[in-house]
Structure 1
Amino acid sequence: MKRLVAASVATTLAFAPILGNACTAVNIVAKDGSVAAGRTMEWAFDMKWELIANPKGSTIASTAPASTKLPAANLSTNYAFVGVAPGVLQGSPAFLEGQNEAGLGISGNFLPGFTEYQTVTPQDKKYVSVLNFGGFVLGSFASIKEVKAEIPKYKVWYDLSEVKGIPTPPWLHYVIADRSGDSIVVEFVKGQMIIHNNLAGVLTNAPQPMTGT
């Protein structure tokens, strides 16, 4: 049976925020086809990480920036998942790491100096804050094929004025893998969503991967 196992090792370093962050995520496919998705977490802030279980049918908020006056929606998850979120953030959990019951896993790494999220306009129909992006992916999809087909339909945004508690903006890119070992990297650069095939099975912080899809 093919399965995906996610592991996380968290270490807090007392160095400068940018220089002290060197997280790395690695996917390994065993001879029997099982996939191990692991990461390190060298982070310069105490984020008070929490492990949270979310049953199928949990609610993930789909919101736009307040300035757009677009309606919020509550998305009901298709899959149960377990995720890791920073307890310092006020409001709904922002899942940086996790795995769902279908074997889809996600891991966010720091991408300062490159990340520029998308701009939501009043004409847009689908949108989600980057703070809810991890939960949205884990709760909605079972495979990389589904993720690649559906997430480009959404605008992923961030607004500093609507976030309280975290000590640094969430300049993130994500590695996503499924139980087959298929994997992608999702980034937001120059206001565009970019999806890379993660052929090496590795993601660290900045800079960006060398090649895309």
Structure 2
Amino acid sequence: MARNLDPKCRQCRREGEKLFLKAEKCFTDKCAIERRSYAPGQHGQKSGQRLSGYGQQLREKQKIRRIYGVLEGQFRRVYAEADRRKGQTGENLLQLLEGRLDTVAYRMGFGGSRAEARQVVRHNCVLVNGQRVNIPSYTLRPGDVVQLTEAARAHLRSKAALEAAAGRGFPEWLDVDAKAAKGVFKAYPQRAELPSTINESLVVELYSR
């Protein structure tokens, strides 16, 4: 299975903001952005660098890809589906990415990070409507019930991730019972409920060239 093996903290520094790729470390002062808020590499501390319009669009696409942990080919397919659907393409894109099983598993606290939640899914530890699903890109529908298997609930790592997620609070579009490690995907999130640091319109402009 192809995946991005670049160091997680380096990816955050490249984008200049926290992408929350390293579980609980991202919520502490050990986060790389807190200590070195400049881009990695020999020329990372140079100031005054300005990106062209195309550069800004490309940077935004890369940031979204890194946040959701999808490769270029996957991202293009998701964008094509978002463009095909009715409504605003940018909002559809984010909704489809948020509707992925690995993303929902992360939001529900089944893993400390999206990468960890993806691994939980791949290891047959997640049930969707009572059936095992081990495809991280599986698209959920409103009303789907997602839960950890009994064996997975017993793992200390899963318990810690669930407790941490419950402490931070769950998104409005999910109904989660942390004690039962179970939740309902109520609806696709509205744009106002998603991070304002994402500018999906730049991605739409990039693919509209």
Instruction: Please indicate the TM-score interval, normalised by the length of the shorter structure.
Output: under 0.3
Larger radius of gyration: 2
Larger % of strand: which? Answer: 1
TM-score normalised by L of structure 1: 0.27
TM-score normalised by L of structure 2: 0.27
Larger % of helix: which? Answer: 2
